Amino acid sequence: MFGSIGMPELIIIFVIALVIFGPRKLPELGRSLGRSLTEFKRASNDLRSTLEEEIRIEDARPSDPPKPKAAEPAEVPDKSSSGA
């Protein structure tokens, strides 16, 4: 769960936190940390779903819209061949 942190390391961290923050403040800090992690996960999931939605919308669009053809120049009658 915590990678290479084992049970003895967790106990040492807990004892140090208990000494620094005291027994009254520790539960409040735990709740605050839990709320922060929940909010971070929610924001991360929202960002991921937004990016996936944008990618799906971008893939649904045609990649190259058909380009309109350029108008061909009009034929100008030649004055010398008009017979006049």
Question: pLDDT digit string (tens) for 44-73?
Answer: 999 999 999 999 988 887 666 666 676 677
Whether the model pTM is above 0.75? no
Query: Residue 83 pLDDT > 70, yes or no?
Result: no
Question: Is residue 72 included in any domain, yes or no?
Answer: no
33/35: higher pLDDT: 35
On whether the CB atoms of residues 2 and 10 are closer than 8 A, the answer is yes
DSSP class of residue 70 equals: P
Domain presence at residue 52: yes
What does the block give as tokens for 6?
């084992």
Overall number of domains in the chain: 1
- At 5-25, the pLDDT tens digits run 788 898 898 889 888 888 888
Q: Is the residue at 79 inside a domain?
A: no
Q: Establish if 16 belongs to a structural domain.
A: yes
* Distance from C-alpha of 64 to C-alpha of 69, rounded to nearest angstrom: 14
Whether residue 32 lies inside any domain: the answer is yes
Q: Is residue 76 situated within a structural domain?
A: no
Rounded to an integer, what distance in angstroms lies between the CA atom of residue 30 and that of residue 42? 18
Q: Print the domain residue range for 46.
A: 7-60
Residue 21 domain-assigned (yes or no): yes
